[in-house]
């Protein structure tokens, strides 16, 4: 049902884009819109992952520089039956993570230092499993196309407004209609984009729980991340709000409600769905991290435990 809903919404986004072109300039506008859509999506297909990783100053790590974190991602990738993605760390105090890449063979996952410093190993496993579920479901490509189309719709509507609907004889709307289109079309595109994003988050939560085998570890992680994400600013995300849908929790401040204008489902709704899944599996309260959280404790982060049971100041990113 989630795949069907996503397909319908993506088809609606494409139809909206072509419709804007047609209403602004007739058949010529439709052709222009189609060419622009193909060109922008081709560029995004090959370059979107590099652009967003560069935007956030992500640093690639490997088994030598981040053995704990890299090894965890490798273990989860093997469980999911996926090729090993490139692994990145972002120097950012806000706990968060995202996945990008055009397909599983060219995927990358990234986590902030804030996330690696706050969560236990079980919780980090839940978060990275969620991101790998996005890769497995090819959500990274879907959301790249959706974001590209949304941006193209806004560009086309503004272009039509700037030129007064292009040639009046080809424009059935008139100047008033063009102004309305310039306002309503980007708004409609944004709503569709957000609806697709919310649908894919629920599916990735379930897929991530299946990969890591512990729904409540992911639920505990979401609870911690959501609580911190609205207290700790993410300057890069605030400067580039179009990328907010990529993260496991909305990185922008003040986005708590599960409504038409939210890029993510309400965190409590996601946690409730994971609890229900844990009940279906008979796992009860979940794994160690969730049990410690329920008792008011916090499981140590993976770099706070040494092989001798002591502590270590070394972070998993080296």
Question: What residues does each domain of the chain span?
Answer: 2-299
* Among 151, 154, 145, 235, residue whose Cα is nearest residue 197: 145
The dihedral region occupied by 211, where left means phi > 0, alpha psi between -120 and 50, and beta the remainder, is alpha
Low-confidence stretches of the chain (pLDDT < 70) are: 1-7, 9-10, 24-26, 158-182, 189, 193, 195, 254-263, 283-318
Distance, CA of 173 to CA of 297 (rounded, Å): 62
Which neighbouring-strand residues pair with 110? 88, 98
pLDDT score for 25: 66
pLDDT score for 74: 97
pLDDT score for 146: 74
Binding-site residues for Zn(2+), in ranges, read 130, 134, 201
pLDDT score for 193: 67
pLDDT score for 243: 82
pLDDT score for 274: 96
> Per residue in 237-263, pLDDT tens?
888 877 888 899 989 875 444 444 566
Q: Which residue numbers are catalytic?
A: 131
> Per residue in 44-97, pLDDT tens?
778 878 988 998 999 999 999 999 999 999 999 999 999 999 999 999 999 999
């Amino acid at each position: 049902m989630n795949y069907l809903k996503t397909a319908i919404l993506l088809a609606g986004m494409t139809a909206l884009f072509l419709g804007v072109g047609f209403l602004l300039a007739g058949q010529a506008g439709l052709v222009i819109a189609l060419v622009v859509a193909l060109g922008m999506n081709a560029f995004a297909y090959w370059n979107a992952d590099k652009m967003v990783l560069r935007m956030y100053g992500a640093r690639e790590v490997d088994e030598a520089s981040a053995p704990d974190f890299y090894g965890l991602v490798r273990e989860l990738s093997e469980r999911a039956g996926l090729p090993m993605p490139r692994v990145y760390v972002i120097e950012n105090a806000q706990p968060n993570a995202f996945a990008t890449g055009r397909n599983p063979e060219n995927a990358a996952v990234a986590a902030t230092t804030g996330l690696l410093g706050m969560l236990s190993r079980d919780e980090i496993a839940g978060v990275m499993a969620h991101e790998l579920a996005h890769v497995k479901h090819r959500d990274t490509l879907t959301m790249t196309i959706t974001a590209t189309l949304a941006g193209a719709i806004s560009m086309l509507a503004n272009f039509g407004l700037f030129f007064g609907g292009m040639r009046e004889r080809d424009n059935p709307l008139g100047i008033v209609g063009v102004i309305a289109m310039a306002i309503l079309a980007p708004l409609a595109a944004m709503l569709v984009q957000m609806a697709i994003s919310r649908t894919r988050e629920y599916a990735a939560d379930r897929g991530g729980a299946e990969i890591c085998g512990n729904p409540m570890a992911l639920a505990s992680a979401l609870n911690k991340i959501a609580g911190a994400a609205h207290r700790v600013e993410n300057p890069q995300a605030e400067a580039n709000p179009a990328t907010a849908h990529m993260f496991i929790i909305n990185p922008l401040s003040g986005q708590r409600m599960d409504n038409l204008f939210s890029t993510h489902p309400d965190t409590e709704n996601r946690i409730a769905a994971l609890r229900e899944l844990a009940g279906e599996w008979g796992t009860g309260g979940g794994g160690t991290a969730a049990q410690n959280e329920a008792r008011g404790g916090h499981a140590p982060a993976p770099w706070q435990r040494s092989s001798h049971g002591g502590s270590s100041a070394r972070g998993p990113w080296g």
